[in-house]
Structure 1
Amino acid sequence: MTWKKLADFILKNRLAVLVVVILGCLFMGYHASKVRITFNGGKVLPVTDSAYIRYNQFKKLFGQDATTMVMGFQSPKIFDKDVYNDWHKIANDIKATKGINGVISVGNVFDVVKDTIQHKYVLKPLSPALITTDKGADSVKQKFLSLPFYKGLVLSEDGRSTLMAISFDGKIINTPKRVPILKAILKAGQQFEQKHNIQVHYSGLPLIRTVAGDLIKNEFVLFLGLSLLITISILVLIFRSFYAVFFPVVVVLLGVTCSLGTLVLMHYEITILTGIMPSLVVIIGIPNSIFILNKYYYEYNHTGNKMQALHTTIAKAGVTTFVANITTAIGFGVLCFTNSELLVQFGMVASASVMVTFILSIILVPIIFSYLPNPKERQSKIKDRPVIQGLLNKLDYVVHNHRKAIYGVTVVLILVCIFGITLINVNSYVVDDLPKSNNTVKDLRFFEANFKGVLPLEVSIDTKRKNGVMNNAVIRKVERLEKLISSKPEFSRSLSLTQGLKFLTQSFYGGNPNYYRLPSGLEQGFILSYAGNSGKSNDMLKTYLDSNRQYTRVTFEMVDIGSKKMNIVLKDLQPGIDSIFNPKKYHVELTGSSIIFIKGANYMVKNLYESLALAILLIAGVMWVLFRGIKMIAISLLPNLIPLVITAGLMGFFGIPLKPSSILIFSIAMGISSDQTIYFITRYRQELRSTNKSISAIVSDTIRETGISMIYIAIILFFGFGVFAASTFGGTQAIGILISITLFVSMISNLTLLPAFLLSMEKRTAKSESRKSQ
């Protein structure tokens, strides 16, 4: 009765309703114009997670990490006069740029010199001016090689590669202001490359995130265009009418506008996930119009009365599409329960957008078509097209005559795919979603090969007492810890308080490299007394100490080896760390952006399993409200769970790893594929209540009527999600390809397995009644 009243209200007040909807869309459009691309990596771990809390504590003590970009090259000419001078000049120019905190390279490193008169250390540039002779270049090289502090830091262990580390101001690193600076750095590198014919490589999280942001921006437009092209093409094939193509597209574009407006109103930005929202709205929104228009043309063909047909369409198709959209929204909405900001944003905006687009469809399509001419015969005879009818007749024949074969094939597929599931690899990489051919990925491999990576790993050591770090025994423990971690091939050499003390000890003894070591207990007092008077040179130590000298940090760079291997490495390290620093007396925390990424990947995979379970539970609840009875819930869920099993099996067989982006597929696909079940069973139960036909006849009628919409919608969903295969992001590609496959299999399952279940239920009921009568 409620839907009939809604139909009365919409059609009787259609002009007023239309004006209100247009004003609402204009309001959302105004906000949508303010949408912007994110400039940070997105918060994956929930803010209540202990690792995330400790990471923020670390940043308060020592400042923002992941602010360093690197550029480097490999050449035997590193210390040639012209190459060295140009590299030196680039470093100085970048250092003078507003927004850059510091630059370190072979061209502008400092030596620490002891001033015995002033009783302090003085920082002296290794090369205060440009080199004018080859002899001067050789002298600088020898000086540099006598400073072990820089070995493996800006010059590789083999001396054939060098890098320049550029530290951004933490205040601008996650803002658009970093983009022009990055462009200027890349331009300087390109000029150097062209002049000397030496390939320059670039990496670091600031650059990786900027490259990802640019790709998101480009794909945002690409996918919206492709999804519109696909849906328009399919609408033309289905309806062969300008009105039935143009106005559904207008409706989904209004849905896209509202989606982006929602994003801005919630104070969110476009991320790798929310960036695909406009395309999702088009792909998921168009089926609403197809189902509504098919119902409208079907009713008009029976009544010949346009307004009556539209009224019936709202009343009957409204409830079906409403419930179908609810299950789709559930598939996205369950992501809100992960507490991961990245997924919560995507889940909230996606679920809201699905429902808003449904509301626009059920209101605007009937209102618009009420003002348009009556449907032509070719539109109202859509269901009679020979190709579709032939296909549906074959499906009906198979369901009625080959149920055992359907069950047998399904069981075999499930068993094979269960084996495939055992082959799935759970793994995530920091640059996982960037294309392997991308220069950023190639350049990262250069730094991994020559400097053991550029991804930051921070070790925070809490001595739990004031001045505890400066105890000589603690300093020795820190050195042992550094050696333990650096011994792993995944980690670079360290930067730390101990390395600074070694540098100062070398300086204390006249720069002799043999004295690059930790000071003894007696030496430490003298060396630190010099450091206390040294102004800027004292910063070398302050960078690695908090104000109370209770905490110290040790900084490493690491290779992007993936979450699976890194989890093993971190687990192997822990006993060694505990043996050096007794957990009862000290707290040692491995942290930093890279660790947060690894923990975030672990967290997302774990919680997305729970999200899928929650989606299934909630959808089962919707099925219970609609259909009642355990049997009907099982019948409605199984045709949609089996495609998920098949997809998971394919992931195992084709080596597609399970990671945060790919596991999203299952809860989303579960929500969308359930729509097909709802379309079928709703039509089936309406017929069951209003006629005296047998279940067998009703199943046949439902296949022939609802099957048309199900096939058309499945085609749009298959090709619509298929456009994401054109993405440069591996995760987006996986979402597109795997959801397309899942939804296609789901359509087949809902047009074969689902009616087969219903017929088997009829047979069992008939046997039961026969026994009772005997």
Structure 2
Amino acid sequence: MLKLLTKHFWDVVARLILRNKIVILVGIILITVFFSTKWKNMRFTNTEANLLPDDHEVNLVYNNFLKVFGEEGNLIVLGVKDSTLLTVKNLNAWNNLAQTFKKYPEVETVVSIKDLQKLVKDTKNEKFKLEPFIKDSIKSFSEIEILENDLFNKYPFYDNFLFNKSSKTFRTAIYLKKDIVNTQARKLFIQNNLVPIIEDFETKTNLDIHVSGMPYIRTLNSQNIVDEIGLFVGAALLITSLIFFFFFRSFRATLISLLVVCIGVMWTLGILGLLNYEITVLTALIPPLIIVIGIPNCIFLINKYQHEVKLHGNKVKSLQRVITKVGNATLMTNVTTACGFATFILTESKLLKEFGVVASLSILAIFLLCLLIIPIIYTFLPYPKDRHLEHLNKRWIGGFVNWMVQMVKHNRIAIYSTSLILLILSIIGIYQIKISGSLIEDMPKKTEFFKDIRFFEKEFNGIMPLEFMIDTKRKNGVMKLSTLKRMDELQNLITEIPELSKPISVVDLVKYSKQAYYNGNTKFYQLPTSQENSFILSYAKNSSTKVDLLDNFVDSTGRYARITTFMKDIGTDKMERIEEDIQMKVNKLFPKDRYEVTMTGKAIVFQKGTTYLVKNLAISLSLAIILIALFMAYMFRSVKMIVISLIPNIIPLLVTAGLMGYLGVPIKPSTILVFSIAFGISVDDTIHFLAKYRQELQANNWKIKTSVYGALKETGVSMFYTSIVLFFGFSVFTISSFGGTVALGALVSATLLFAMLSNLLLLPSLLLSLERSIANKEVLKEPSINIIPDEDNDDDDLI
């Protein structure tokens, strides 16, 4: 009954499409125009990708820190390592460059060598006062020598902040206003003001300026992502159209396919704008994905049309059969692909949810466009020429199919042995996979800003902020000497960790105050004793000046203190070990009844997000497998067929995971996507093959061997075509400058190639080997959905 309803449904669909051509085309144009009006809502995200749910403990800790101290990633640093900087002309130019940025409203403060102040004891008035190292400008080389001696030998407070005395590298710190760090204003300031000013300075002085800091990195990195969207779309269109033309040798068919996928991309961008989603590193991949997934739809539909035209020469009947016989199969395969992406919606990550929503909706949209546009356009076009149908008789394709048939007939043991060996090797490789939570690992390695990241890592031990917040649980608890001593011990531990930079906190200011109290003697750069503390505090209270640099390291109530350090680009494993070591020290130093110490920062949030995603990978992939298994159970109504169909699709995933282990490709947000995407796409081949196999069984009186070989010959060509398109289509992502995108493209391509071979060799072999247990009407019951309608000789014109 359901089979008849399905057939009737597609007959009605074909009739509606072919009788309402103009109305449908006008409707598509109007919808496309509507979506194009939503493009204005598209914007690139101004915040970092947060992979954790909003209510996750790590996010709550980080947001609490921001509530107390405000945005922490507002620092841009300029660095120079050049002996010619220490000349009168260049040092003055360097200081003037810093002063230039102070006039911009986006800048909160700028700290350069010229801004550094000496804390000096005023005995007469019993207070501290500030005196600049450079009062006006440098006038002679002797002044530079004095300045060097002061900075490098007399004032350890400033060591490793604005200079590295061992390599004589200098830097300037630019603090942006915290309220613009996550807005478009940050991007405009960096692109329109910061970068041009620095380039002009380099031209005039011949000094090589290194620029870094999270606002700068994020801006240039996001611009690279935006630039690559156009590159991916263009490359995907080029490679898929070339392959399509190679298969069909028809400019007409190629142009129709390009038209369809281009409209699909326009709809995808419209969906992004309609939902007000930001363009992230993940959603930026969807437009080229739609091209890669849409072209196989076009191949199925156009190939069927040309096959029907060649068979009986009736164009109207051919188009009707394209819709009724291929439409259902294409719908099923697109639904399974969409399911692979839709599983991301069920995760708690906002980033993945948005990716899943847009990708799954876009896949269904491209199916609809293919089904509507291709048959309608062909009603207006003349019959295909003979040269357009030559590809249907390509001998080399026939040779490939015959090779597969021979392998399945005579070499099943070899197929099983190879599969088993690959499986064992893959499991070994899986145990070698590492997890990476690096913020910068996927950034383009050849860009200047990435080289600058490495420069600052080498000279100042990192640029990614790592924060410690100490809650003393009482007002003015930070300035208690016992608290300062505990903080000092924690800072000493941080200093000993090579992956972290020298920390800075209120402790350093207190030490500097004691040094100043003893007239600048460097041996007194230490915390005061309890007796000294009262004298030094009295001086500090009488002082009207303060060091702006440390304004933000104690909150207004004196309850919370902050220790800031910067972290090198390290893996999750190393970071977890560092975190454990620090936590052990914290537990000893800060009694929980009196203090609460939390470690946070953007780097921590990102790393914890990666770990969270890895834990959810199994859930996401399991959901994809369960959804598709239920889908196939509904279609084939056979548990045994579900098991047999899943084996050829799970093995390629394991092989890819094993390759990741052997090749040192870590699990990270970009590579996590591989498995659900590849599984959702590769299972399409299984559905096509099994649907045709069951049809062959009915036509051949339940003769297994004849049916398997028939299904292999019938579906082998289309599976080969689509797999080649998908392989080269996803390979487009390997031209990216982002390591994660390259890994995603290469891994999905490899997985789909393995999946094609698995579905063409292992699946038929399993069916033949298990013929006695599955080749009966009890196991292979009448399908709930007839994916490939039975061939008939019904010549009725539905039009």
Give your verdict on TM over 0.5: yes
Matched, 1:349 2:358: yes
Aligned twin of 2:156: 148
Aligned twin of 1:326: 335
2:229 matches 1:220: yes
- The 1-side partners of 2:179 and 2:369 are apart by 42
Measure how far apart 1:459 and its partner are.
0.2
How far has the Cα of 1:698 moved from its partner? Answer: 2.2
The letter of the residue matching 2:570 is I
Is 2:225–2:281's contact at 8 Å kept on the other side of the alignment? yes
Pick closer, same or farther for the CA change 1:723–1:767 going to 2, 3 Å.
closer
**Range moving further from structure 2, 760-769 or 84-93:** 760-769
- Which 10-residue stretch deviates more, 18-27 or 525-534? 525-534
The answer to whether the aligner puts 1:207 opposite 2:216 as a matched pair is yes
Deviation at 1:384, TM superposition (A): 2.3
1:164 aligns to what? 172
Contact 2:240-2:295 at 8 Å conserved across structures: yes
Name the SS of the counterpart of 1:103 in structure 2: strand
SS in 2 for 1:394: helix
Q: Is the 8 A contact 1:506 1:512 kept in 2?
A: yes
Residues 350 and 534 (structure 1 numbering): CA distance in 2 closer, same or farther, change over 3 Å?
A: farther
- Per-residue Cα deviation, 1:251-304 (whole angstroms, up to 9, x for no partner): 111110111111112222222221121111100111111111222223333343
1:592-631 per-residue CA deviation (whole Å, 9 max, x = no partner) reads 1111111112112222232112211211111111112221
| Structure 1 residues 53-82: Cα deviation after superposition (integer angstroms, max 9, x where no partner) | 110111111010111111112234554322
Separation in 2, partners of 1:748, 1:461: 58
Partner of 2:785: none
Query: How many residues in Structure 1 have an aligned counterpart in Structure 2?
Result: 769
Cα deviations across residues 26-64 of structure 1 (Å, max 9, x unaligned)? Answer: 111221254333333222211111111110111111010
**Which of 132, 136, 139 is the matching residue for 1:129?**
136
1:23 aligns with 2:50: no
Tell me the TM-score normalised to structure 1 length. Answer: 0.95
1:536, distance to aligned residue in structure 2 (A): 5.4
Match of 1:84 among 74, 80, 91: 91
The 1-side partners of 2:210 and 2:387 are apart by 61
Per-residue deviation, 1:354: 0.8
Pick the aligned partner of 1:178 from 172, 177, 186. 186
TM-score, structure 2 normalization = 0.92
Distance 1:510 1:605 in 2: 56
Task: Give the superposed CA RMSD.
Answer: 2.3
Report the counterpart of residue 261 of structure 1 in structure 2. 270
**Which piece of structure 1 moves more, 15-24 or 175-184?**
175-184
Residues 258-657 of structure 1: pairs in structure 2 closer than 5 A: 258-380=267-389, 382-532=391-541, 534-535=543-544, 537=546, 542-657=551-666
**CA–CA separation in structure 1 for the residues paired with 2:196 and 2:775:** 79
Alignment correspondent of 1:772: none
Q: What is the aligned partner in structure 2 of residue 249 from structure 1?
A: 258
Q: Tell me how far apart the structure 1 counterparts of residues 211 and 609 of structure 2 sit (CA, whole Å).
A: 26
CA offset at residue 87 of structure 1?
A: 1.1
Counterpart in the other structure of 1:43: 50
Return the alpha-carbon distance in structure 1 between the equivalents of residues 23 and 577 of structure 2: 63
Measured against aligned partners, the alpha-carbon deviations of 1:660-686 in whole angstroms (never above 9, x if no partner) come to: 211211111111111111121122223
125-134 vs 531-540, greater mean Cα deviation: 531-540
SS in 1 for 2:707: helix
- Of 113, 116, 125, the residue aligned with 1:109 is 116
For residues 278 and 571 of structure 2, the distance between their equivalents in structure 1, rounded to whole angstroms, comes to 27
How far does residue 690 in structure 1 lie from its aligned partner after superposition? 5.1
Please name the residue that 1:725 is paired with.
734
Q: Is the 8 A contact 1:301 1:381 kept in 2?
A: no
Give 5+ residue unaligned stretches, structure 1. Answer: 770-774
Is 1:53 the counterpart of 2:60 in the alignment? yes
Q: Aligned residue for 2:782? A: none
Q: Is the alpha carbon distance of 1:179 and 1:8 closer, same or farther for their aligned partners in structure 2, counting shifts above 3 Å?
A: same
Q: Deviations over 1:177-210 (max 9, x none)?
A: 3334334434444444455544322221122212
- Specify the SS of the correspondent of 1:165: strand
Q: CA deviation at 1:134?
A: 1.9
| Residues 492/318 of structure 1: CA separation in 2 closer, same or farther (3 Å cut) | same
CA contact (8 A) 1:430 1:562 kept: no
Q: Is the 8 Å Cα contact of residues 248 and 389 (structure 2) preserved in structure 1?
A: no
C-alpha contact (below 8 Å) 1:500/1:540 kept by paired residues: no
* Structure 1 residue 564 displacement after superposition: 2.1
Contact 2:438–2:603 at 8 Å: present in 1 too?
no
Which residue is 1:680 aligned to? 689
Give the match's secondary structure for 2:113: coil
Kindly provide the CA deviation profile for residues 97-142 of structure 1, in whole angstroms up to 9, marking residues without a partner as x. 2211112222321223345566654443321311112222223333
How far apart, CA to CA, are the structure 1 residues paired with 2:229 and 2:461? 34
**1-side partners of 2:737 and 2:775: how far apart?**
55
| One-letter identity of the residue aligned with 1:443 | D
Match of 2:163, SS? coil
Contact 1:461 1:586 survives alignment (8 Å): yes
What letter corresponds to residue 232 of structure 2 in structure 1? F
Distance 1:396 1:511 in 2: 88
| Counterparts in 2 of 1:139 and 1:744: CA distance versus 1, 3 Å | same
Judge conservation of contact 1:496–1:553 (CA < 8 Å) in 2: yes
> SS of 1:71's equivalent?
strand
Question: What does residue 93 of structure 1 align with?
Answer: 100
Q: Distance in 1 between matches of 2:661 and 2:516?
A: 58
Q: Secondary structure at the match of 1:585?
A: coil
How many angstroms does 1:369 deviate by? Answer: 1.7
Of the candidates 717, 737, 761, which is equivalent to residue 770 of structure 2? Answer: 761
Does the 8 Å contact 1:434/1:730 carry over to 2?
yes
Equivalent in the alignment of 2:723 = 714
Query: 1:212 is matched by which residue type in structure 2?
Result: N
SS in 1 for 2:770: helix
List runs of 5+ in structure 2 lacking aligned partners.
779-799
